[in-house]
Amino acid sequence: MKLIDFGVRQDEEKYIKEWSQINNIEVKIVSELLTPETVQLAKGYDGIVAYQQLPYDEEVFDKMNEYGIHVISLRNVGVDNVPFEALKKNNIRLTNVPSYSPEAIAEYSVTGLMALLRNMKHMIRKVDQHDFRWEPDIGRELNQLTVGVAGTGRIGRAAIKIYQGFGAKVIAFDKFHNRDIENENLYVDSLDTLMKESDVITLHIPSLGKGHTVINKESISEMKDNAIIVNTARGDLIDTQDLYDAVANGKLYGAVLDVYENEVGVFNSDLSDQEFSDKLLEKIIKSPRFILTPHIAFYTTKAVKNMATISLNSMVDELKTGTSENEINLEK
């Protein structure tokens, strides 16, 4: 068996090499993303592993079919950039890594929130200028707040535990109630109720598709004054202009954004020597009421190792048995 792994960053390489040695399976490491041009490097390999934020081009899958490769394993969880129709047409199976470290993302949600509640961004900026005054950056305590967790999958449930540990009152919403927390009395009857009753709304749901936001002018108007939004899930869940306006006009306190609707090509790129064209993002970066980070909630040693190795294990299962526990149902 010979595998090829695309879009590999340096921090992932050692885990892939280790896995390759332990399992005695050849894995070619390629730093380039998987595109209609680079896919030809996969000729002669049995399976493709990949990660990228850019959409996967349909032509990639036509070529995979041509080369007789019928499995692609992603090193991440989100499959929103994969054209399912092209996979089906070419008889290609897809796996992801549904759980590499829910705690990494849950911990980050709280990290960002705490930084915002204690006005850390502004305070650090002031201290950098040798301005050591307290006022006006008085903080709020998490133990005084109601945190609404939208989505009670693995990440949402990990977040619930942490928020409860800080003494916050936690409420939750999910279309599907999870049995592990069913009897904790956390569930409210709708996302609207969650939005209305929370001081902090933290999103742990997948993308609903372009244009289908859950945080927008309408939902914001129903929220408590001074509420805070935390998004470590997907940027397109939020109408960012509406969110920015609501913070600027004082309706909301602020937001923690680790994802952004136009992040592709920006996050995880060094644009320091370029003219920055996204004016909305620039305003968010400047505002002390936004904690903005470049999609790093997942970015821990544990998570990166799991992403590298679980994707390879799924590929082996697929090639040996024709399926794996992480295979995505393309009909959904």
Is residue 289 at the binding interface for ligand COI, with CB under 6 A as the rule? no
Is residue 6 at the binding interface for ligand COI, with CB under 6 A as the rule? no
Segment interacting with ligand COI, rule: CB under 6 A, options 35-43, 75-83, 167-175, 178-186: 75-83
How many C-beta atoms lie closer than 10 Å to residue 219's C-beta?
A: 19
- In the bound complex, what is the minimum distance in angstroms from residue 74's beta carbon to ligand COI? 8
Nearer to ligand COI, 25 or 264 (CB): 264
Q: From the candidates 234, 261, 289, 318, which is the catalytic residue?
A: 234
Question: Among 15, 71, 76, 142, which residue sits at the site for ligand COI (rule: CB under 6 A)?
Answer: 76
204 catalytic? Reply is no
Question: Among 295, 306, 312, 316, which residue sits at the site for ligand COI (rule: CB under 6 A)?
Answer: 295
Q: From the candidates 12, 261, 263, 318, which is the catalytic residue?
A: 263
Is residue 78 at the binding interface for ligand COI, with CB under 6 A as the rule? yes
Question: By C-alpha distance, which of 35, 81, 74, 34 is closest to 55?
Answer: 81
179 catalytic? Reply is no
Question: Among 214, 253, 298, 317, which residue sits at the site for ligand COI (rule: CB under 6 A)?
Answer: 298
Cα–Cα distance measured from residue 260 to residue 272, given in angstroms and rounded to the nearest whole number: 18
- In the bound complex, what is the minimum distance in angstroms from residue 125's beta carbon to ligand COI? 27
Is residue 154 at the binding interface for ligand COI, with CB under 6 A as the rule? no
Residue 78 contacts residue 206 (beta carbons within 8 Å): yes
Residue 272 contacts residue 232 (beta carbons within 8 Å): no
Question: By C-alpha distance, which of 71, 88, 122 is closest to 331?
Answer: 88
234 catalytic? Reply is yes
Is residue 304 at the binding interface for ligand COI, with CB under 6 A as the rule? no
Cα–Cα distance measured from residue 195 to residue 172, given in angstroms and rounded to the nearest whole number: 10
Query: Angle at the Cα of 33 (from 30 to 34), degrees rounded to 5?
Result: 95
Question: By C-alpha distance, which of 30, 85, 92 is closest to 58?
Answer: 85
Segment interacting with ligand COI, rule: CB under 6 A, options 42-50, 70-78, 167-175, 200-208: 70-78
Burial class (CB in 10 A: 0-12, 13-18, 19+), 107: middle
Interface ranges with ligand COI (CB under 6 A): 76-78, 295, 298
Q: Which residues are catalytic?
A: 234, 263, 295
